Structure 1
């Protein structure tokens, strides 16, 4: 590999790391804070941000804080497009039947990521979960479902997982496994406020939806 190629790879890697930091930060980042987290000079961080702004990948707020731009949102709509299309009607059906926010959660190699959501149409109030939200696979019902798919020996699979007050404070979640092509780890889940509900019934609704999504992708239960 030539020096110019190495330099280009390093620049690309640094740019991708910067976008990841901006997107995953729990608090807004300034350019100076981004530079500190990347371990680079502030002038280099400004050049990175300026390039991102030119392409619509990052927006700088009047306060100076950075957030991901609309261009990335447009690209995200095409991520796993066939999976999202197959899941959409079934997530909507789950959401309307249970009057809860339904989620399609996948594994990105490091964490559980909410790929798409559906909110009930006939509900006075709903709980929102933004697509792209990430959380560790050790936390939350969807994460633990994915963890059991990655390491079934250490974490044997259950019919469903439930969690309370973990990923989102004050909310409950129930999740079931989703079979995808090439055995990619995934889960179908719902989130809802603390209520005394029949978790087995919720899990059955989710399992039916999961099977229908898999069938739409040409996958049959093993």
Structure 2
């Protein structure tokens, strides 16, 4: 089981998929062993072979991920509520799904006269907006907050930081507002929320 899960993780980390030979080399096992590991994973929809024979993630992984998403959102809500109230801005947890950022949980502040209405399930490219770019920064090992202005919605300002230290999860937490945000003020609040979410989900 351990080697099967390692194979699944290797394929997940390879955007272009892996050949059986590449997988065997990275796992330090023979090609025949990779075929034996891939068989049950393919049968359960966790892996698939593309036209070139490369191993890629199967639709079964997305099914499992969708089942886990409500648990992730539930674990993140206390930290998001605190963040929304502290920052006076709409707080959100964004996760990677299918190469895009998806707003998994959204909390609006209770005391502001107006705020951004950010829809749960909203999708956007990872290279646009603070939430997606924070995830990319996390991939590069940075925990620093990332800011954006008008990249996803005209007149909206965002600041986000990656959620680090949760195996298998690529995510960010951030806030979005209709006025410029002071990164020096909200940055530490966002990083504290990201750490709290990582602790709750880890």
The alignment's TM-score, normalised by the length of structure 1, stands at 0.58
1:213 is displaced (CA, Å) by: 1.2
Q: Does 1:176 align with 2:172?
A: no
Picking from 142, 153, 178, the partner of 1:193 is: 178
In 1, Cα distance between the equivalents of 2:143 and 2:199?
21
In 2, Cα distance between the equivalents of 1:127 and 1:78?
28
Alignment partner, residue 159 of structure 1: 144
Contact 1:180 1:186 in 2 (8 A): no
Alignment partner, residue 186 of structure 2: 202
Paired residue total: 138
1:78 is displaced (CA, Å) by: 5.9
Deviations 1:12-38 (A, max 9, x none): xxxxxxxxxxxxxxxxxxxxxxxxxxx
Alignment partner, residue 15 of structure 2: none
Q: Does 1:131 align with 2:120?
A: yes
Structure number with greater CO (CA < 8 Å, separation at least 6) is 2
Q: Which runs of 5+ in 1 are unaligned?
A: 1-76
Q: Equivalent residues in 2 for 1:30-179 (5 A)?
A: 79-150=68-139, 152=140, 157=142, 159-179=144-164
In 2, Cα distance between the equivalents of 1:89 and 1:166?
28
Deviations 1:137-189 (A, max 9, x none): 11011111112334x2xxx6351100001011111000001125324210001
Distance 1:157 1:181, change over 3 A: closer
For the residue of structure 2 that corresponds to 1:115, the secondary structure is strand
The alignment's TM-score, normalised by the length of structure 2, stands at 0.63
Alignment partner, residue 37 of structure 2: none
For the residue of structure 1 that corresponds to 2:167, the secondary structure is helix
For the residue of structure 2 that corresponds to 1:182, the secondary structure is coil
Contact 2:137 2:162 in 1 (8 A): no
